[in-house]
Homo-oligomer: A and B are copies of this chain.
Amino acid sequence: MQRSDILQAAAQAFRQKGYHAASMQDIADAVQLQKASLYHHVEGKQDILLAILDHALDLLITDLEEVVATDLPPDQKLRQAMHAYVGRLTQDADLAAVLLLEYRSLEPKARAQHIRRRDHYERIWRDLIKEGVQANIFQPVDETVATFALLGVQNWMITWFKLGGPLTAQQLADRFCDLFLHGLLTSEGHSKQ
């Protein structure tokens, strides 16, 4: 039995029931341990949540920094970043769902610290958009709004996407990216504007 096994089981439980509704007993059952034995590996329930959130954010930051370090043009960087992000959200779905939906359950101190790291991650995305705008590849949009829109589309995916459905994660990332790059309107739609 390893600490990481407990974190994984906890992530699954937190995702399914939510942090407060999932009990330490649920987690213990999932790893076939007595509840008391969990405290040999972790300090408490909050400790588990914090470890999950830190780990999830670590993965995402690593992924994204790999992409922005390339010398691809901005629109292709964006596509790569979306592929990586959607990939993580589907591959490590439990971790991702807890990151996006359960960070509210952190106690104020830890939450403030976590939010600072999350903002740093969002700034990397915003800089990616800004790079495209300054290169005149992207239109002069409000970078903050565009970033939240981009992240919103992808984040909301975790609430409805099911592996094994009609689309793979990579196909979905491509369609999201196409939508963002080209928009909905046809030339006919444009001419009517």
Residues of A at under 8 Å CB distance from B?
Answer: 18-21, 73, 75, 78, 101, 104-105, 129, 132, 136-139, 141-142, 145-146, 148-149, 151-157, 160, 167, 172, 175-176, 178-186, 188-189, 192
Contact = CB atoms under 8 A, between A and B. Distances in A.
Interface of A is mostly: helix
Contact of A139 (B141, B148, B153, B185): B185
A146 B78 CA distance: 18
Contacts of A184: 75, 78, 129, 132, 138-139, 141, 146, 180-181, 183
A127 to B, nearest CB: 15
A114 B129 CA distance: 38
Complex A-B, nearest 3 residue pairs according to Cβ-Cβ distance, in ascending order = A152-B156, A183-B183, A20-B20
6 contacts: A18-B18, A20-B21, A137-B192, A139-B184, A145-B176, A152-B152
Contact of A175 (B18, B142, B182, B189): B142
A129 B36 CA distance: 54
B149 A179 contact: yes
B18 A138 contact: no
Nearest to A103: B159
A182 B139 contact: yes
Nearest to A152: B156
Given A156-B148, A179-B149, A186 B105 contact: no
A121 to B, nearest CB: 13
Contacts of A179: 141, 145-146, 149, 180, 183
A190 to B, nearest CB: 8
Nearest to A149: B153
Nearest to A188: B136
A107 to B, nearest CB: 11
